[in-house]
Structure 1
Amino acid sequence: MNRRLFCLATAATLAGLPLASRAETLHATLYKNPDCSCCEGYATYLRDNGFAVDVKPTNDLAQISLNAGIPENLQGCHTMFIDGYVVDGHVPIKTIRKLLTERPTIAGITLPAMPTGSPGMVGQKRGPFTIYAVAKDGTVPTVYATE
């Protein structure tokens, strides 16, 4: 096989691999309420999908979320910082990978509250999750993805 063909075949193979398989491990810092166990389940979910997660219990979670640009009415169960973005709540890995691949000029994304059946939460999923994009300039959040 010549060098050009080898390079093209390798590139095609890598394009089909998940983000975690193609790149070095992404490191995330997840802030959570000290008494919350579902956040640990979410951290495990992220680790199972190739992320290195440092969990930091805090009693200032609401303020951390606000400081990151997440409006109070859209805050999730925990706040995570990864590769220059904030990810609030039980956001599915597919949407996190979309964010990290597309690299939009936003502060981050959020899945408000604690939806049943979302990653780290118990129960059956009852419908699509709406994940919002949070702008850096404080403008009204918009829908980023529905899963």
Structure 2
Amino acid sequence: MKQTPTRRRALHLLATAAAVTAGLSSGLPALAASPAQTPIEVWKDPNCGCCKDWIVLMEKAGFAVTVHDTGNSAMRTKLGLPARLGSCHTALVGGYVVEGHVPPADVHKLLQQKPKALGIAVPGMPVGSPGMDGPEYGGRKDPFDVLLVTKNLMNSDVSTKVFTSYRS
């Protein structure tokens, strides 16, 4: 059967469309299935290296981080978290406060469970916690707890309970 230029062009277009469709079907579902990044805002000192390390871990865990290099004490106070629960950086995600070196998995857990709480915190800067686990610590891992922080709306009392324990 002799192919006319029109028929040749039509067959070429069909073949091209089939190839493109095959390529898209193998590559795009993975992109379409990847979840959107969760926005998180972080307040920290501009010179804090462990905060930068924690931010990198959060980005790798699917968070879109906006950084405010203005320190975090004023924001921590504004968000209602007592200084006794403080650390070197304060974050806000999904309406929750995240204070300190909280593992990204616990932030995801918080957002999935949606407890009635102010947020979660890892007070201080425990060695071995996310961002405090670089080579300069020689593999040391101190035990720590991620605390669920609740606030009594009647009297503004803040209380905590263990959300996740890292004691092994």
Q: Give the TM-score taking structure 1 as reference length.
A: 0.78
Distance 2:140 2:80 in 1: 27
Summarize deviations over 1:11-49 as a string: whole Å, max 9, x none: xxxxxxxxxx76321000000012211111111111111
Kindly indicate whether the alpha-carbon contact (under 8 Å) linking 1:118 and 1:125 is maintained by their aligned counterparts in 2: no
Kindly indicate whether the alpha-carbon contact (under 8 Å) linking 1:32 and 1:58 is maintained by their aligned counterparts in 2: yes
Partner of 1:143: 162
Kindly indicate whether the alpha-carbon contact (under 8 Å) linking 1:25 and 1:51 is maintained by their aligned counterparts in 2: yes
- Unaligned 5+ segments in structure 2 are 1-32
Report the alpha carbon displacement of residue 84 of structure 1 after superposing the two structures with TM.
1.0
Partner of 1:126: 141
2:41 aligned with 1:29: yes
Report the alpha carbon displacement of residue 112 of structure 1 after superposing the two structures with TM.
0.7
- Unaligned 5+ segments in structure 1 are 1-20
Distance 1:29 1:116 in 2: 23
Report the alpha carbon displacement of residue 67 of structure 1 after superposing the two structures with TM.
2.1
Q: Which structure is richer in relative contact order (CA contacts within 8 A, separation 6 or more)?
A: 1
- In the alignment, residue 104 of structure 1 is paired with which amino acid? P
Partner of 1:44: 56
Report the alpha carbon displacement of residue 86 of structure 1 after superposing the two structures with TM.
0.7
SS in 2 for 1:146: strand
Residues 69 and 133 (structure 1), Cα distance of their counterparts in 2 relative to 1, 3 Å cut: farther
SS in 1 for 2:42: strand
Partner of 2:77: 66
Report the alpha carbon displacement of residue 58 of structure 1 after superposing the two structures with TM.
0.9
Distance 1:136 1:27 in 2: 24
- In the alignment, residue 117 of structure 1 is paired with which amino acid? G
- Structure with a larger share of its residues in helix: 2
Q: Which has the larger radius of gyration?
A: 2
- In the alignment, residue 148 of structure 2 is paired with which amino acid? A
Kindly indicate whether the alpha-carbon contact (under 8 Å) linking 1:69 and 1:134 is maintained by their aligned counterparts in 2: no
With 30-39 and 120-129 compared, the bigger mean Cα shift is at 120-129
Partner of 2:104: 93
SS in 2 for 1:23: coil
Distance 1:119 1:36 in 2: 14
SS in 1 for 2:64: strand
CA RMSD of aligned residues (A): 1.6
Distance 1:95 1:22 in 2: 20
